[in-house]
Amino acid sequence: MASASSSSLSSRRNRLVLPLIVCPSCNVKTIVRCTAKTDANRGRVFYTCPDHEKDGSGCNFWYWEQGYINFLKRNGFIEDGTKGKSALRVDLEQDDFGRQDELEKNLIAVVPIARELLLAVKGMLVLGLFGVVILVLPPFFNR
């Protein structure tokens, strides 16, 4: 277990930070950096337009990390050879990503709970309104 977490940590350190440009395909949204979650490519970094869909619909801008680096070099966003002015190698501490990962896990866990609470409150409001109607309407019918 310790070796799995240390290898995960080492892959997160000294990560290349690339500029996120406006999508050249749709010219609407800014490219986002994502991490693959499929079994075949788990943890692998790719860059895509937020409007890209897996089924091929939407914007077609999508590259694995090295392909995106090559795209940026070809189009003058970063310099060839030095990785460019905008591309930086950064040494990130475990705490930075650990906190981010923990926050993401917590948010993923909280969303279904929030939905259930919202449904419960909605149900209580409907029942409360129904109760008020039952209490208020009978005097009008007794006249």
What is the reported pTM?
Answer: 0.49
CA–CA gap between residue 23 and residue 121 (Å, rounded): 41
Q: Give the mean model confidence (pLDDT) for residues 74-96.
A: 57
Of 13, 91, 26, 31, nearest to 67 (Cα)? 31
Please check the confidence at residue 1 and state whether its pLDDT lies above 60: no
Q: Band the pLDDT of 80: cuts 50, 70, 90.
A: low
Tokens 């060839």 locate to 80
